[in-house]
Chain A
Amino acid sequence: MGNTFYSQLIVVGEKYLGPAAERFMQRQIDFHLGKDPRNLTAGDVDKLADSVKIALGVLTHDKAMVNSAVREIKAVAAKGQAA
Chain B
Amino acid sequence: MSKSSSGRLLLNPHIILLGVGVALYAAQVLLFPAPRNPKYNINTPTYIALVVTLMGPWIATWAFGVTGYLRLESYARSIKDEASARPFRYLSRGIMFLVWGIIVATVISTFSSHHPSDVSINMPATIIDNYLYSIVPLAGFYYIWRAVQLLVHAKAKRKQFVDLATVVPAIALAALTAAYVYLVFTNPSRQVGVGTTPASYYLPDWLIVVSVIIPVVLSWTLGLLAVINIYRYQQKVAGFIYRRFMRTVAFGVIFIIGGSILVQALLSIGSQRLAGIGLGSALGIIYLFLVLQLAGYLLVSRGSKKLTLIETA
Residues of A in contact with B (beta carbons under 8 Å apart)? 14-21, 23-24, 55-56, 58-60, 65
Which residue of chain B has its CB nearest to the CB of A20?
Answer: B310
1/0 contact string of B293-311 vs chain A (CB within 8 Å): 0000000000000110111
Return chain A residues, CB-CB under 8 Å to B154: 19
Residue pairs across A and B with CB atoms within 8 Å: the count is 57
* CA distance in complex: A32, B306 (Å): 22
Q: Quote the shortest CB–CB distance from B12 to chain A (angstroms).
A: 25
- Verify if B239 is at the interface (C-beta below 8 Å from A): yes
Contact B241–A60 (Cβ < 8 Å): yes
* CA distance in complex: A55, B309 (Å): 9
Contact B240–A20 (Cβ < 8 Å): no
Contact B240–A15 (Cβ < 8 Å): yes
* CA distance in complex: A14, B238 (Å): 6
Contact A19–B241 (Cβ < 8 Å): no
* CA distance in complex: A7, B307 (Å): 23
Q: Quote the shortest CB–CB distance from B232 to chain A (angstroms).
A: 15
B: number of interface residues (CB 8 Å): 21
Given A58-B309, A59-B309, A59-B310, A15–B239 Cβ distance below 8 Å?
Answer: yes
Q: Quote the shortest CB–CB distance from B302 to chain A (angstroms).
A: 14
Residues of B in contact with A (beta carbons under 8 Å apart)? 79-81, 84, 154-155, 237-244, 246, 306-307, 309-311, 313
A14-B238, A19-B154, A19-B239 given; name 20 further pairs at CB < 8 Å.
A14-B239, A15-B239, A17-B241, A17-B242, A18-B237, A18-B239, A18-B241, A19-B84, A20-B79, A21-B242, A23-B80, A23-B81, A23-B84, A24-B310, A55-B313, A56-B241, A58-B309, A58-B313, A59-B241, A65-B241
Contact B240–A59 (Cβ < 8 Å): no
* CA distance in complex: A19, B306 (Å): 15
Q: Which 3 A-B pairs have the closest CB atoms?
A: A18-B239, A18-B242, A55-B313
Return chain A residues, CB-CB under 8 Å to B240: 15-16, 65
